[in-house]
Amino acid sequence: MSSNNETLHAWAGVANGKPLVQMDLPLKKWDENSVEIRVTHCGICGSDDHMLSESWGPTHYPICVGHEIVGEVTKVGANVTNLKVGDRAGIGAQSGSCHECKNCLEGNENICHNMVLTYGSQWPCGTWTSGGYADKWRGDYRFAFKVPDNLSSQIAATFFCAGITTYAPLRRTEVGKGSIVGVMGIGGLGHYGVLWAKAMGAKVVGMSHNDKKHDVALELGCDDYINTSNPQDMARYKNTLTHILCTGTSPDFQWAPYFALLVVNGNFINVSAPSWNFPELNPMLLLKNQIFIHGSAIGSPEEIEEMLAFAEKNNVKPWIDVYPMKDVNKVLDDFRAGKPRFRYVLEN
């Protein structure tokens, strides 16, 4: 791939249901808070497919998706303090915020109501953001992070969405020794939930609606497994789990069976973003179980920095398969068919 100084060369979606095609797209206008990288790796995330297929609403085409980006820094603005040319840097689902609202000032930039998403948003200059299915990325240095020396670029890539999406809420709810964490869904997000919770010292219970994921859950490090369609299996953990991390479930999900698994003051944490709604919640069900329901969106820059250091220290390694960027359409087809175990990474 090659592009001029003010464009990137992308594999871009042009319409719902159409394969990605190669084209040049504009970079954001350069300013002294900007950093530019040569993209070497980009993970594939479910969000990419949601945007390409418009399952979350209308998409502005053409769009270059990908928000698990790692590459080599090639240019930095005068205000950049955390990166220099030649460093490896990673970018996740967020590429900018207002830096002025209450959430930003309190370190919750990931909840900025004027956030700039890595794709599908517009920069203040009016240019549409472009992700990592491309040869380069340019954006706000405050959302680009130095990759630790002991993390390979292909391993590091998926930390920037799947990794932080699961790490941040487990940290916020103080998972550690003595915690018993149920992970709903053993997939791209769920397998990360297992790895983090184990590294934090918790007992981890894999959860899925049949026994197909039993063996791989144990191979990942789960201490036990619950087939959530089996009442006897569910009964074994009644009032036992301190946390449930919901990374995915089916449209027939109901609250009551899962609340029954939690201890008093336990935590139900949702990080999944399905195209359907959770069912209504009976207030009495919530009251009599005395539990906390949390939602969590990616993570703040501070949490991302902490996660990277934690991953390096604890040798946390996701299960990935790496493919050439030029094969992106075939890899996306395999992704949609549910083949990953458990993340796909594209490599330039």
Residue 2 placed within a domain: no
Judgement on whether residues 66 and 176 belong to the same structural domain of the protein: no
Domain tally, the chain: 2
Q: Are residues 169 and 155 in the same domain?
A: no
Whether 1 is covered by a domain: the verdict is no
Same domain for 143 and 199, yes or no, is no
Q: Is there a single domain that holds both residue 106 and residue 196?
A: no
Q: Measured between alpha carbons, how far is 268 from 52 in angstroms, rounded to an integer? A: 30
| Domain CATH number, residue 240 | 3.40.50.720
Judge if 248 and 312 occupy the same domain: no
Model pTM? 0.96
Would you give the distance in Å from CA 61 to the centre of its chain? 23
Digits of tens for pLDDT over the chain (348 positions)?
Answer: 445 789 999 999 999 999 999 999 999 999 999 999 999 999 999 999 999 999 999 999 999 999 999 999 999 999 999 999 999 999 999 999 999 999 999 999 999 999 999 999 999 999 999 999 999 999 999 999 999 999 999 999 999 999 999 999 999 999 999 999 999 999 999 999 999 999 999 999 999 999 999 999 999 999 999 999 999 999 999 999 999 999 999 999 999 999 999 999 999 999 999 888 999 999 999 899 999 999 999 999 999 999 999 999 999 999 999 999 999 999 999 999 999 999 999 999
Q: Are 298 and 161 in contact (CB under 8 A)?
A: yes
